[in-house]
């Protein structure tokens, strides 16, 4: 699967919000790590692996037009990584400078138009595109006029990574922003701007957050790594990467109830086939109903 097989952008009208799902590229991660304790014969039916045991994952970001601000949620991998890294993770995100910026332009905006960049967490495949290699080889903010918003705990956690998580947090993805005074932190749930709120969904990392979009009458949630693909909808289908899988389990249990009660739209970050849908229950199994 190639990034070019996905449309640069798909748009969902959500009341007063216009939500663009931007395809920032594809990455390939180990299938076993993506599905934790789920045996391969089960997960490979959902997403078949390549000969290196990796599965294709989207690097989907959101660009949300609200009455008061243009908000980008997550920023993909970016352009700062070398060939070896790009090969290991199967990164396919070339553009000008990356496919994310191409996708932003495809819906009529420029990187300089973005007012706020929200990070669900600071792993390289979610926050790597917040900074980029400039012409002189230095690292510069990718969205020059934006404030960057992170959970306070996630930013602290990313700056003192232990051996288990070190490969995922690279300081070049966020320290230049902190040093330039471009970062604002929030501590817990928060209304970012009218129509967009930040919802802590811990488990993948201790301070991971999802983003709730309130279109007045219809709500959607960008789940990020709480539930990276529609295959991860069943409660025990939890990534091996998660630092606190039992916390993920309880986060999912509580949120799934609310999603069903209020009929929220789900938006997946890493599902290469389904950007969004609605949760359905069939014989006690959680499934996805497609929406157009």
**What does each C-alpha distance from 51 to 31, 42, 197 come to in angstroms?**
11, 17, 41
Q: Which residue minimizes CB distance to Zn ion?
A: 123
Cβ contacts of 113 within 8 Å, gap of 6 or more: 70, 104, 145
Min CB(242)–Zn ion separation in Å: 9
Taking contact as CB under 5 A, which single stretch among the options 58-66, 122-130, 142-150, 282-290 is the one that binds Zn ion?
122-130
Say how far apart CA 204 and CA 273 lie, in whole Å. Answer: 22
Cβ contacts of 257 within 8 Å, gap of 6 or more: none
Q: Which is nearer to Zn ion, 81 or 225 (CB)?
A: 225
Taking contact as CB under 5 A, which single stretch among the options 15-23, 29-37, 115-123, 181-189 is the one that binds Zn ion?
115-123
Q: Which is nearer to Zn ion, 66 or 209 (CB)?
A: 209
Q: Which is nearer to Zn ion, 60 or 123 (CB)?
A: 123
Q: Does 242 bind Zn ion (CB under 5 A)?
A: no
Q: Which is nearer to Zn ion, 168 or 260 (CB)?
A: 168
Of 123, 132, 219, 252, which one interacts with Zn ion (CB under 5 A)? 123
Q: Residue 140 corresponds to which tokens in the numbers above? A: 């510069």
How far from each other are the two terminal CA atoms of the chain, in whole angstroms?
22
Q: Beta-strand (E) ranges in 66-128? A: 70-73, 116-118
Min CB(157)–Zn ion separation in Å: 12
What letter would DSSP give residue 88? Answer: H
Min CB(241)–Zn ion separation in Å: 7
Q: Which is nearer to Zn ion, 70 or 100 (CB)?
A: 100
Say how far apart CA 36 and CA 203 lie, in whole Å. Answer: 13
Instruction: Find, among 241, 220, 256, 291, the residue nearest to 29 by Cα.
Output: 241
Of 74, 81, 101, 225, which one interacts with Zn ion (CB under 5 A)? 225
Q: Which residues bind Zn ion (CB under 5 A)?
A: 123, 225
């Amino acid at each position: 699967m190639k990034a070019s097989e996905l449309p640069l952008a798909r748009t969902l009208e959500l009341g007063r919000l216009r939500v663009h799902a931007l395809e920032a590229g594809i990455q390939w991660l180990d299938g076993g790590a993506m599905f934790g304790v789920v045996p391969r014969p089960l997960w490979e039916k959902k997403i078949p692996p390549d000969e290196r045991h990796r599965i294709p994952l989207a690097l989907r970001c959101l660009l949300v037009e609200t009455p008061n601000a243009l908000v980008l949620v997550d920023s993909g991998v970016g352009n700062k990584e070398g060939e070896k890294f790009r090969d290991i993770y199967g990164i396919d995100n070339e553009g000008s400078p990356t496919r994310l910026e191409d996708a932003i332009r495809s819906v009529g905006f420029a990187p300089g138009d973005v007012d706020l960049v929200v990070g669900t967490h600071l792993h390289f495949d979610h926050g790597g595109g917040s900074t980029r290699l400039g012409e002189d080889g230095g690292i510069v903010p990718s969205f020059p006029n934006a404030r960057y918003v992170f959970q306070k705990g996630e930013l602290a956690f990313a700056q003192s990574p232990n051996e288990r998580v070190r490969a995922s947090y690279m300081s070049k993805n966020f320290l230049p922003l902190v040093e330039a005074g471009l970062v604002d932190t929030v501590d817990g749930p928060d209304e970012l701007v009218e129509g967009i709120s930040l919802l802590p969904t811990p488990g993948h990392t201790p301070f991971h957050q999802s983003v709730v979009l309130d279109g007045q009458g219809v709500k959607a949630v960008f789940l990020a790594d709480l539930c990276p693909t529609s295959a991860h909808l069943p409660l025990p289908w939890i990534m091996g990467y998660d630092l606190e899988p039992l916390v993920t389990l309880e986060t999912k249990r509580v949120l799934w109830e609310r999603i069903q009660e209020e009929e929220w739209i789900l938006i997946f970050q890493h599902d290469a086939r389904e950007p969004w849908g609605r949760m359905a229950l069939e014989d006690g199994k959680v499934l996805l109903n497609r929406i157009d």
